[in-house]
Copies of this chain bind each other. A is one copy, B any other.
Amino acid sequence: MADVKVGIVGLGLMGGSLSLALKKLPQDYYFIGLDHNALHCTQALSLGLIDEIAPSLEALRSCDIIFLSIPVDGIIAVAKQLGTLDPKCTVIDLGSTKEKISLSIPSEIRKNFVTAHPMTGTEKFGPTAALEDLYTDKVIVLCDIEKSGKHQENVAKTLFSDIGMSIVCMGAKEHDRHAAFISHMPHALSYALANSVLKQEDSQSIVALAGGGFKDMSRIAKSSPNMWEDIFKQNKDNVLEAIQTFQSELKKCQKMVENEEWDTLNDWMSEANTLHDIL
């Protein structure tokens, strides 16, 4: 088999981990990487995540597959700069919001695109954060897949399934609302939790007592502000709806504690326990 030429725009956790995952497959790949951060380029090269640093976006246009693993605003900008592409070229973006991306791809290359959201990540970033099993046994959501070419759909489905992912297809609009509840709003909570504790006078001695619960709940508060600013921007309405929903639930809890309605509080916590049945 000839080498498949893969371009990766964005050599961070997501892009770097993709390279590591693809390298484990029997197919040979040749990776060309691009990142506006020069240090990340040289790190990615020396870590073996890429075989070559691309001098410009132009240099990636000959690739069989181009991954856009950059913040969502960047994806929209790059999509507009790509120009025309070979009908067999597949561009896969990994942004965490999908509707604005799906709508902003120029119509001449809409069939080249597959808009995907891998439901995985860590709070770490940069090429050194890359993990070879980041995608294994995780879900990838393919959005508005009917707008992609048949070839591109097959390339994406085969590739993600080969690296061990479960594929879920849904509309970009529906995805964005789901993602707000399952990922974006929880990130807002984690940031708010970290700040609640950090702003206490004795924050260091409070944090010294952290057990697994707090560590788990505050882990994603270490995530990249630039990436999350973009996500909150692009998914503003859904995020606000999800925060509002959460606030009503927390308010209920607060009232029950305030009014010492212990039985009702117990029922409310038992309802939350049923998450166990579906997760």
Question: Chain B residues with Cβ under 8 A from A225's Cβ?
Answer: 265-267, 269-270, 273
Inter-chain contact A181/B197, CB cutoff 8 Å: yes
Is A232 an interface position by the 8 A CB rule? yes
Is A26 an interface position by the 8 A CB rule? no
Inter-chain contact A250/B249, CB cutoff 8 Å: no
Quickly give the copy total for this chain. Answer: 2
Q: Contacts A209-B182, A246-B193, A272-B198 given: A217-B214 contact, CB under 8 Å?
A: no
Inter-chain contact A217/B186, CB cutoff 8 Å: yes
Is A111 an interface position by the 8 A CB rule? no
A-B contact pairs, 30 of them (CB 8 A): A119-B210, A121-B212, A139-B211, A168-B208, A170-B205, A178-B209, A181-B200, A182-B209, A185-B196, A188-B253, A189-B193, A189-B217, A191-B253, A191-B268, A192-B250, A193-B249, A196-B249, A198-B274, A204-B278, A216-B219, A217-B220, A218-B275, A218-B279, A223-B269, A225-B266, A225-B269, A229-B262, A232-B257, A236-B257, A243-B253
